[in-house]
Amino acid sequence: MSLLAAAAETTTEHGPHVNPWVVGIVVFSILLFLMLGLLSFGKGREHS
């Protein structure tokens, strides 16, 4: 067995594949929700 074939065998995925776009959209929506909550919470407060 060649070194290239051995390296190709060890890089196979055994777990579920997660789409990076889905992770990005979920993280973005969580951060957007937190930012909107922060802005609505501090809307009526005076600046110090």
Residue-wise pLDDT for 1-48, tens only, equals 566 666 666 555 677 888 999 999 999 999 999 999 988 888 766 766
- What integer pLDDT is reported at residue 42 of this predicted model? 81
- What integer pLDDT is reported at residue 43 of this predicted model? 78
| pTM as predicted | 0.57
Distance CA 17, CA 38 (A): 34
Distance CA 25, CA 11 (A): 27
- What integer pLDDT is reported at residue 31 of this predicted model? 98
* Domain locations in the chain as residue ranges: 19-48
